[in-house]
Amino acid sequence: MKIGVVTFPGSLDDVDARRAAAVAGAEAVALWHGDADLHGVDAVVLPGGFSYGDYLRAGAISRFAPVMETIIKKAGEGLPVLGICNGFQVLCESHLLPGALIKNHHRKFICKDQALRIENNRTAWTSDYDANHEITIVLKNQDGSFVADEPTLDRLEGEGLVVARYLDDNPNGSYRDIAGISNERGNVVGLMPHPEHCVETLTGPSTDGLGFFTSVLKAVVAS
């Protein structure tokens, strides 16, 4: 099975995401932002970084890349898509997910090991976790505060679309401690922390991020 990882101008973690896909047992495929062809991949990762230097708004320009036109269409047909950090911002800007990501409440870049609780294990990207499984993975962002209006937040909570929530502290001011969300179908997930950095014991702090990538392989087989 093939997991495609998109590279935008300014992407930083595309190589790590491809490595994580390979560790999980997939064939990692490099996708270019200017190429609308997904080259037959079974799932897509939008990686972290600072696409277009976060000019205008983080993810706002990448949303109009040729590859995103195809991803938006295919996501509507059920293609699994994971947006990590900057990729989460792109998903919100593309309206594949609700809400927005804004500057951290303390106005500083943050990099730390972050505890999370996986609250929705019914998505294509989280089925290998137990419900309410607690994990620790890397967090690094400056535009990581998830915001939405109260009706949207209530809907996310009520429909079980909050995928992950920050534990112990709220590192960036995200409303209701939200670290990740999904769409109603569960094939599109946005996550601010970085599971791709936590798939091997050599680089730590854990291998807790590997489940995102093994989950999607099982979801592809099941479909």
Can you list the domains of the chain with their CATH numbers? 2-222 (3.40.50.880)
Beta strands in the chain (DSSP E): 2-7, 27-32, 43-46, 81-84, 100-102, 110-118, 133-141, 145-147, 162-166, 178-182, 188-191
* Cβ-based neighbours of 86, under 8 Å, separated by 6 or more: 8, 10, 11, 46, 47, 48, 49, 50, 51, 54, 58, 59, 62
pLDDT value of residue 205: 82
The active-site residue out of 33, 92, 196, 197 is 196
d(CA 36, CA 57): 23
pLDDT value of residue 133: 96
pLDDT value of residue 148: 98
pLDDT value of residue 202: 87
Question: pTM for this one?
Answer: 0.97
Of the CA atoms within 13 Å of residue 6, those in its CB half-sphere come to 35
d(CA 218, CA 202): 25
- The per-residue pLDDT string of the chain (223 residues; one tens digit each, 9 = 90 and over) reads 999 999 999 999 999 999 999 999 999 999 999 999 999 999 999 999 999 999 889 999 999 999 999 999 999 999 999 999 999 999 999 999 999 999 999 999 999 999 999 999 999 999 999 999 999 999 999 999 999 999 999 999 999 999 999 999 999 999 999 999 999 999 999 999 999 999 999 887 899 999 999 999 999 999 8
**Three-class secondary structure of residue 88 per DSSP:** helix
**Three-class secondary structure of residue 69 per DSSP:** helix
**Three-class secondary structure of residue 215 per DSSP:** helix
The active-site residue out of 119, 194, 197, 198 is 194
pLDDT value of residue 204: 73
pLDDT value of residue 97: 98
Q: Is 133 a catalytic residue?
A: no
The active-site residue out of 85, 93, 197, 198 is 85
Q: Is 77 a catalytic residue?
A: no
d(CA 155, CA 97): 12
Contact 168, 82 (CB under 8 A): no
Closest C-alpha among 19, 62, 20, 65 to residue 38: 65
d(CA 11, CA 48): 6
